[in-house]
Amino acid sequence: MKKIIFLSIAIFLCSTLVTAQELANFVNNKPVISPEISGNEVIFRIKVPKARDVKLYGSWMANYTDRQDLIEKENGIWEVILPTPDPEIYTYHFIVDGVAMSDANNILMQRDGTRYLSMLLVDGTRSANYKEAEKRGNLTKVWYDSPTLKMNRRMYVYTPYNYEKGKQKYPVLYLLHGGGGDEDAWSNMGRACQILDNLIEQGKAKPMIVVMPNGNPGQQAAKPLMLAENTFDYRDPSTANLYIHSLAKDIVPFIEKNYRVIPKPDSRAVSGLSMGGGHTMNIANNYPGMFGYIAPMSMGIREGQDIDNQLKALKKAGYKLYWLACGDADFAYPGAKLLHEALDRNGLTHTFHVTGGGHTWSNWRDYLNTLAPMLFK
Amino acid sequence: MKKIIFLSIAIFLCSTLVTAQELANFVNNKPVISPEISGNEVIFRIKVPKARDVKLYGSWMANYTDRQDLIEKENGIWEVILPTPDPEIYTYHFIVDGVAMSDANNILMQRDGTRYLSMLLVDGTRSANYKEAEKRGNLTKVWYDSPTLKMNRRMYVYTPYNYEKGKQKYPVLYLLHGGGGDEDAWSNMGRACQILDNLIEQGKAKPMIVVMPNGNPGQQAAKPLMLAENTFDYRDPSTANLYIHSLAKDIVPFIEKNYRVIPKPDSRAVSGLSMGGGHTMNIANNYPGMFGYIAPMSMGIREGQDIDNQLKALKKAGYKLYWLACGDADFAYPGAKLLHEALDRNGLTHTFHVTGGGHTWSNWRDYLNTLAPMLFK
């Protein structure tokens, strides 16, 4: 036993040096704690001894041009004490002598497309389901063939707690990201796994599989993987439609073949934000009857855009829920209102779920948290 | 068709604004390209208009205190042109007026414990297997119960290409991280999936499952998840041994129950770096006969440390391969040499694989790339 203890101490000595060896230059001598939430106050700190001007921007601020000054304290550490914002997940960064930088002392980071953002979680009712539940499902990065897009591509698949243990078949939510995002967005920025874990644990949502594909048809997978991208652009309308077809013809059949799912419209839901909201409406319009639950978020149609025939076909094919969500400060709101009116005009039962706020992950997380309990009931 | 095209354009317009809305402050007006490799030169750039002094540190430099000066060019962009280092994956950061910061223009980031590091991949023979292969296996973040540690914990499980399609049973490599790391380390810093994908695709390694657990017994999972950590510390010798027991009693049985594996010693390998190298030796010594392949990296024993009885028991139990790898500039090298001598003294057939270099991911990736083809043959 003594031998094992000594060995372990030796291992520990090694282990502290490991980090030192690759990170020696990056680490400050004394750890700086940032952010630090204590009740009604949150303190942000950064060690920048030679800086002349240090500011903070946080996504809780009213305007994107808002800044909060930090003040220099001891040992080159600058800090600012702010009132703790309302419960939610926020992103923030420092601006040191005019240069935006992440908080190197905060291990919580989110990636939104090409950017890594420091994250602040404020506990409370609204953010309760964004933290890890007790019973957690698994997340797999799955490669699949897309004959439609002529590529092997990657998606993320969430399987609920205990999926491995039973013989049960599950319904499936196809959850689509927005422009600039990728297959990582909903599980990372969107906290989709945490939200589903919590809702399922609380008995509020039915256990379901959540499929998060990559909606950029030119990409095999998220850009941090070093794969060649196809020459066609996700902004090209024709390839945007190719993605819709790949979803219907490649992804849904793959999932229904490889997972224990209920392969019926009433057990298929599709939802997405912004560009993914467009994909959601578009697949519902192009493949009427395929999805029983249709829930675009933060998107809409243009003035004069005529989708009446598609909506009539969708009505005829039938569905269980059409749930359109948008913030009233969202630039997509006027278009969402037009879609709401088109649904009304064509007699499609639906909910137009209007909230405050804009085109933000704060809204999309909240929409998922609101939507999931309505699915497959 | 026209309608769909118009809709898609509208979606695209939305999608460009999305990114703008949460990231407006973070993005420079004009994208800065960094790093840019062109043949024998690599250019690093950063836009810091008010900076007085900008330097670069890269992990290819000989000393941790080495710095390369950047020069101010147009529009506040500083740059440095360097000879492209030898093929490998490196990490680097800028030092702006004394403050270390990541390269915000580089989407390639690696997380090593609590730090996010900008990454540079230089193409070449040595780094060929670190890039994505054509045929890729899946990676799952798996939650499992550890009765030994009284926690539900997370590990990463790599299943090789086509695992889903067949009925074949696979051998398993248990691959352990070092101090300061977590279950994310080998797939992230270590490029384990890419290495295995490439070796399997080339027919050099047998298709295998790779299990990457979290070796810090106080953690349920990597710190970016917001789970309470247990009060015991991974540096505590008694809990370090608890982890060994949890590996043998919780993890191996879980994998053998839930995956299509060959549950025999000759189809079980264990390897790990530094602290994980200690875990590797320790589990081999404490559970002789359990693993047919034993491969500690960058670790060793202390002067006078007596493991002779354990090694004798291991010899008696038998194994197929004992492969000890270490760089001759590694601080762990003297200890590794002592372990090599102890193996010799007790008559255990083994390979002492000595390379150049130190206690670095450069070595550990290379060791995995060298080791995997020797397993399960």
CB-CB under 8 Å, B49 with A25:
no
Residue A11 pLDDT > 80: no
Question: Which residues on chain A are in Cβ contact (under 8 Å) with B299?
Answer: 11, 14
CB-CB under 8 Å, A142 with B18:
no
Q: Residue B69, SS3?
A: strand
Q: What is the CATH number of domain A32-123?
A: 2.60.40.10
**Domain spans of chain A?**
32-123, 129-374
CB-CB under 8 Å, A101 with B104:
yes
CA distance B213 to chain A (A): 14
Question: Which residues on chain A are in Cβ contact (under 8 Å) with B93?
Answer: 25-26
CB-CB under 8 Å, A241 with B26:
no
User: What are the residues facing A325 on neighbouring strands?
Assistant: A297, A353
CB contacts < 8 A (A, B): 301
pLDDT at B115: 86
For residue B285 the two structure tokens come to 């010594």
> Cα separation of A361 and A344, whole Å?
28
pLDDT at B234: 55
pLDDT at B26: 41
User: What are the residues facing A273 on neighbouring strands?
Assistant: A297
Q: What are the residues whose beta carbons fall under 8 Å from the beta carbon of B58, sequence distance 6 or more? A: B68, B82, B85, B90, B91, B92, B120
Q: Is the dihedral of CA A7, A12, A18, A21 positive or negative?
A: negative
Cβ atoms of A117 and A110 closer than 8 Å: yes
Question: Which residues on chain A are in Cβ contact (under 8 Å) with B65?
Answer: 25
Residue A194 pLDDT > 90: yes
Best of B9, B17, B26 to mutate (most A CBs within 10 Å, chain A): B26
CA distance A179 to chain B (A): 4
CA distance B192 to chain A (A): 13
pLDDT in tens, A82-134: 999 999 999 999 999 888 899 999 999 999 888 899 999 999 999 999 999 99
pLDDT in tens, B232-255: 665 666 676 899 999 999 999 999
pLDDT in tens, A233-262: 656 666 768 999 999 999 999 999 999 999
Question: Which residues on chain A are in Cβ contact (under 8 Å) with B95?
Answer: 25
CB-CB under 8 Å, B50 with A98:
yes
Section A15-19 average pLDDT: 37
CA-based Rg of chain A, rounded to a whole angstrom? 23
Q: Would you say the CATH fold of A129-374 matches that of A32-123?
A: no
Residue with tokens 């309302």: A86
CB-CB under 8 Å, A141 with B138:
yes
Question: Which residues on chain A are in Cβ contact (under 8 Å) with B134?
Answer: 152
CA distance B37 to chain A (A): 14
CB-CB neighbours of B83 under 10 Å: 9
CB-CB under 8 Å, B275 with A14:
yes
CB-CB under 8 Å, B136 with A152:
yes
Of B9, B137, B223, the CB nearest to A237: B9
For residue B214 the two structure tokens come to 């979290």
pLDDT in tens, A272-297: 999 999 999 999 999 999 999 999 99
Mean pLDDT, all residues of chain A: 90
Question: Which residues on chain A are in Cβ contact (under 8 Å) with B306?
Answer: 3
CB-CB under 8 Å, A142 with B136:
no
Question: Which residues on chain B are in Cβ contact (under 8 Å) with A8?
Answer: 237, 240-241, 278, 282
pLDDT at B73: 95
At A232, the pLDDT band (50, 70, 90 cuts) reads: low
CA distance A266 to chain B (A): 26
CB-CB under 8 Å, A141 with B107:
no
Indicate the class that CATH gives domain B28-123: mainly beta
Best of A12, A15, A258 to mutate (most B CBs within 10 Å, chain B): A15
- Cα A227 to chain centroid distance, Å, stands at 22
Q: What is the CATH number of domain B129-374?
A: 3.40.50.1820
Nearest-CA residue of chain A relative to B335? A10
Nearest-CA residue of chain B relative to A131? B226
pLDDT in tens, B189-235: 999 999 999 999 999 999 999 999 999 988 999 988 988 887 666 56
At A159, the pLDDT band (50, 70, 90 cuts) reads: very high
CB-CB under 8 Å, A179 with B18:
yes
Torsions phi, psi for B275 (to 5 deg): -55, -40
Does the pTM surpass 0.95? The reply is no
Residue B14 or residue A183, greater confidence = A183
CB-CB under 8 Å, B179 with A11:
yes
CB-CB under 8 Å, A335 with B305:
no
The tens place of each residue's pLDDT in chain B, 377 residues long, gives: 333 333 333 343 333 333 334 433 344 456 899 999 998 999 999 999 889 999 999 999 988 899 999 999 999 999 999 999 999 999 999 999 888 899 999 999 999 888 899 999 999 999 999 999 999 999 999 999 999 999 999 999 999 999 998 899 999 999 999 998 999 999 999 999 999 999 999 999 999 999 999 999 889 999 889 888 876 665 666 676 899 999 999 999 999 999 999 999 999 999 999 999 999 999 999 999 999 999 999 999 999 999 999 999 999 999 999 999 999 999 999 999 999 999 999 999 999 999 999 999 999 999 999 999 999 99
CB-CB under 8 Å, B93 with A25:
yes
CB-CB under 8 Å, A17 with B331:
yes
Q: What whole-number percentage of chain A has pLDDT above 70?
A: 89
Nearest-CA residue of chain A relative to B94? A26
pLDDT at B7: 39
